[in-house]
Structure 1
Amino acid sequence: MLLGKKIAVTMPAYYAAKTVGKTVADIPREYVDIVILVDDASKDDTFATAQALGISVFRNEKNLNYGGNVKRCLQLALDAGADIVIQLHPDYQYPPKVTLPMAAMLATGYHDLVLGARTSGKGARGTMPFWRYLPTACSPW
């Protein structure tokens, strides 16, 4: 809880067995009330690995694709009573520690939406094609 707001971190997962443990370990749990992972019918050990982490884990029996999985994540967070929802990918391309500053910006009520760019840090280097960096590199910010 942060400034009286219930914080949920949702993770739309697909083949994330290798990285979900590291991602969950770095979430600032002292401020996050619930962590929800939805496995989108992965055929690896994502579901079992996430269950062992002590978070809320759900599995889509049929692959809903990214958009459908995100919608399910958001609905589960709202059903859990979340005031603030932070979507975090379990592949560690966004550092999980950004959840606290993002939640703080939202909890103040000054911001309605906070977006992260995985191209602004080291997390995505080597895992994303070069052309995806161009919008950030050409940005005036």
Structure 2
Amino acid sequence: MPGKVLIVIPCYNEEASLPSVLKELQQTVLPDNYQLDVLVVNDCSKDGTSAVAKKGKAIVIDLPVNLGIGGAVQTGILYARNNGYDIAIQLDGDGQHPPKELSKLVSFHLESGANIVIGSRFLEKEGFQSSFARRLGIKYFHWVNRLMTGLHIYDSTSGFRLFDKAAIKIAAVNYPDEYPEPESLVVFSKAGLKIAEVPVIMNARQGGQSSIRQFGSLYYCIKVSLAMLFSFIRKP
């Protein structure tokens, strides 16, 4: 019997870009005949995101309050755990993560046995590379993660990532709530999970507004660094 993959799309005001993402997902075929379902977690959008998602034949969870990116992703992970999915893949609704790249994450997971597979812009430096300020921030978090996990993760802020059943089990219970991507790698590393990157080609944002508008700021870097430190020193 084929395994089941849940695509988790956390959304806040993605009415403009979401239709094309859902259309591409409907045409996507994954390796090993995995069954693919799509879940849109609508994080209290003020536009027509929910209606667009339902029209695009996605499963939709409309959150009653705005939880932010971490809470929206964890909602999707909880759905994956409670409904017996083998793999969950976080994918943005703004068009940055092309569905045609999904097969790279799944294939790498099957070949390597990695529990977390991150789609990375920077291994082969193809496609959209983000702004200069954000690249500086990403490079900074690469070294912070290196210090805390011993791993070279070059795109630790990437929200294009695969979770297997072991990772789903952990993330359903313990997942950072605000700007979670760098901090979650500390959590997964402490749990003994295997984390790996695979090169992917990303696009520039196709619509909406980034949830991290001050990414390059000193405030953001300090805040996320402290969160990572607390996760690092916290007892299991």
TM-score normalised to the size of structure 1?
A: 0.81
Match of 1:99 in 2: 102
The amino acid across from 2:135 in the alignment is: Y
The structure with the larger Rg is 2
Q: Secondary structure at the match of 2:104?
A: helix
- Give me the whole-angstrom Cα distance separating, in 1, the residues matched to 2:96 and 2:87: 21
Match of 1:76 in 2: 79
Match of 2:14 in 1: 16
Contact 1:36 1:77 in 2 (8 A): no
Shift of 1:29: 3.6
Contact 1:84 1:107 in 2 (8 A): no
Shift of 1:133: 2.0
Matched, 1:122 2:120: no
Q: Secondary structure at the match of 1:10?
A: strand
Q: 1:35 aligns with which of 24, 35, 38?
A: 38
4+ long deviations beyond 6 Å = none
Q: Secondary structure at the match of 2:60?
A: strand
| Compared CA separation, residues 7 and 74, structure 1 to 2 (3 A) | same
Contact 1:94 1:118 in 2 (8 A): no
Identity of aligned residues (%): 28
The amino acid across from 1:95 in the alignment is: P
Matched, 1:54 2:40: no
Shift of 1:6: 1.2
Count of residue pairs the alignment pairs up: 134
Q: Which runs of 5+ in 2 are unaligned?
A: 143-153, 155-198, 200-236
- Give me the whole-angstrom Cα distance separating, in 1, the residues matched to 2:66 and 2:126: 30
- Give me the whole-angstrom Cα distance separating, in 1, the residues matched to 2:104 and 2:9: 18
Q: Which runs of 5+ in 1 are unaligned?
A: none
- Of structures 1 and 2, the one scoring higher in RCO (CA 8 A, sep 6+) is 1
The amino acid across from 1:107 in the alignment is: L
TM-score normalised to the size of structure 2?
A: 0.51
Match of 2:135 in 1: 133
Shift of 1:25: 1.7
